[in-house]
Amino acid sequence: MPAVLTTAASITCPHAPGRVPPPAPAQTVLFIMGEPVITAAGLASMVIVGCADSSRKPPTPCTKVVRLPQSKKLFIQGSPALLAGSGKALKPPLPFPPGASLRAEDTASHVFA
Ligand SMILES: [Zn+2]
């Protein structure tokens, strides 16, 4: 089972140093190792900074998180916890899809769902 993501998670796009800064938690009920669990309710506020994708002219850097794996078991205030694994990023002005692949890990979480 994949790890439950907290605000300490490492979420990166394939174009280093593109990454998702710790999001403002959408819930303050469930914490793991002192870090709030991030839920699908917070997806809309998760941005990507530093994406260095210059493979197109003009460049289309990743800007926002579109999708991350969601727990089917763990819900917090009605919203599923987000899980480690592969996700998708938005690359405007390209429509979604195609997007780009995200990688989410949380080695400190030690909670799986
Ligand atoms: Zn990127």
**What is the value of pTM for the model shown?**
0.92
C-alpha 68 to ligand 1 mean position (Å): 15
Higher pLDDT, 32 or 55: 32
Which range marks the domain in which residue 16 is found?
10-105
C-alpha 17 to ligand 1 mean position (Å): 8
CA 4 – CA 73 distance, rounded (Å): 11
Model confidence pLDDT, tens digit, residues 67-112? 999 999 999 999 999 999 999 999 988 777 777 899 999 998 999 9
Coil, helix or strand for 90?
strand
C-alpha 65 to ligand 1 mean position (Å): 10
Beta strands in 1-113 (DSSP E): 10-12, 31-32, 35-36, 64-67, 70-76, 79-82, 85-90, 100-105
C-alpha 29 to ligand 1 mean position (Å): 31
Q: What is the pLDDT of residue 76?
A: 97
Average pLDDT over residues 47-58: 92
Residue 40 above 80 pLDDT?
yes
51 within domain boundaries: yes
95 within domain boundaries: yes
CA 40 – CA 21 distance, rounded (Å): 16
| CA geometry: angle 37, 42, 48, nearest 5 deg | 100
C-alpha 99 to ligand 1 mean position (Å): 9
Domain count, the chain: 1
110 within domain boundaries: no
Report the amino acid identity of residue 14. P
